[in-house]
């Protein structure tokens, strides 16, 4: 037994999120897409503040990954995002941009550069659709 009474434990949200993100980066594309789609749908259904906090924890953890792993996650996120209903897609894109503004400049740049690279890999029609949505929100790539 802990000498000062019952040992208190802090919630492991950040650690758990970091572990989940690392696990997703190691999955096959199909499994990663399924898991990310579940997460994105869950985030889209949350109230604004809860969604923002959840997206922030996930994005912050993902941006700590080495570049090749983050690129895989970013590519899957973009493809999954495009398959969601329009309202959810816009809600999640808006939240993503709000969260980015709160992160350090190095993380913002990593995300923006990786997103740009991943966008250029998309088929022309999907790429144009995503770029149009981003422009509608005032984002420039």
Give the pLDDT of the chain (141 residues) as one tens digit per residue: 444 555 444 444 455 888 999 999 999 999 999 999 999 999 999 999 999 999 999 999 999 999 999 999 999 999 999 899 999 999 999 999 999 999 999 999 999 999 999 999 988 888 888 888 777 776 655
Give me the long-range contacts of 8-17 (CB less than 8 A, separation at least 24).
13/57, 14/57, 14/61, 17/57, 17/58, 17/61
Q: What is the pLDDT of residue 136?
A: 76
How far is 101 from 52, CA to CA, in rounded Å?
12
Cβ-contact 67, 114 below 8 angstroms: yes
Q: pTM for the full model?
A: 0.81
Of 67, 66, 62, 95, residue with least CA distance to 81:
95
Q: What is the pLDDT of residue 7?
A: 47
Q: What is the pLDDT of residue 140?
A: 56
How far is 126 from 140, CA to CA, in rounded Å?
16
Q: What is the pLDDT of residue 125?
A: 85
CA 71 to chain centre: 11
């Amino acid at each position: 037994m802990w000498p000062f009474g019952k040992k208190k434990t802090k919630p492991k949200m950040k650690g758990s999120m970091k572990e989940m993100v690392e696990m997703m980066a190691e999955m096959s594309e199909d499994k990663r897409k399924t898991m990310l789609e579940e997460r994105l749908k869950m985030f889209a259904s949350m109230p604004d503040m809860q969604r923002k906090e959840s997206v922030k924890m996930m994005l912050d953890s993902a941006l700590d990954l080495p570049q090749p792993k983050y690129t895989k996650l970013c590519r899957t996120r973009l493809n999954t995002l495009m398959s969601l209903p329009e309202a959810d897609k816009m809600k999640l894109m808006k939240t993503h941009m709000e969260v980015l503004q709160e992160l350090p400049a190095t993380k913002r740049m990593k995300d923006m550069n990786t997103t740009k690279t991943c966008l250029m890999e998309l088929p022309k029609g999907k790429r144009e659709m995503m770029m149009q949505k981003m422009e509608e929100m005032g984002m420039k790539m």
